[in-house]
Amino acid sequence: MRKNNQTIDNSELLIDTIVSSIEEKKGTNISILDLRSIEGTVSEYFVICEGNSKPHISALNDFILENVRAKLKVKPFHKEGQQNMEWVLIDYSSVIVHIFNNESRNFYNLEKLWEDAKITFIESSKQEVPNLNVYE
């Protein structure tokens, strides 16, 4: 199903707000997966990033939720992982945010799983971490 231009514009504004929130709270290794050309996907985009500790992941989660609600008046459709803070998912329907710790990010490797997507890496957020295979 093709989305109309208004949905795409709203998704892009949502992505910009999410990415700027991640950058402001020093989230690392940000990538954006454009899933629109893949048939049967659950969302149009994934935004993926890392936090370096459970408190950092919690801060990223909270700040994204606060900023998106304050700036765009949008609440998530669904949230998961707020208890263990190893992989947090925030579902805004057209955009799904994944906040990982490094170990979980490498294990699940969503960029590899969704390698047919157009992937954009935010170079300014890239952190040199041993065994980070999402940039290979």
Q: Residue 129 falls within a domain, yes or no?
A: no
Residue 128 inside a domain? The answer is: no
Considering the domain boundaries, does residue 2 fall inside one?
A: no
At 134 the pLDDT is: 52
Domain that holds residue 33: 16-123
pLDDT values of the chain reduced to their tens digit, one per residue, 136 residues: 334 344 446 899 999 999 999 999 999 999 999 999 999 999 999 999 999 999 999 999 999 999 999 999 999 999 999 999 999 999 999 999 999 999 999 999 999 999 999 999 998 777 755 455 554 4
CATH of the domain at 43: 3.30.460.10
- Residue 110's alpha-carbon distances to 87, 107, 115, in angstroms, are 12, 9, 8
Any domain includes 6:
no
Q: Is residue 89 part of a domain?
A: yes
109-126 core/surface letters (b: 16 or more CB in 10 A; e: else): ebbeebeebebeebeebe
DSSP state of 126: -
What token pair was written down for 72?
């765009």
Contact 22, 125 (CB under 8 A): yes
Ranges of H-type helices in 25-127:
54-72, 102-108, 110-113
Radius of gyration of the chain (CA): 14
Asked if residue 10 is part of any domain, the answer here is: no
In what order do the strands lie in the sheet containing 95-100?
A: 78-80, 87-91, 95-100, 45-50, 28-34, 118-121
Look at the chain and report how many structural domains it folds into.
1
Does 87 reside within a domain?
A: yes
For residue 131, being part of any structural domain is answered with no
User: How many Å apart are CA 34 and CA 74, to the nearest integer?
Assistant: 20
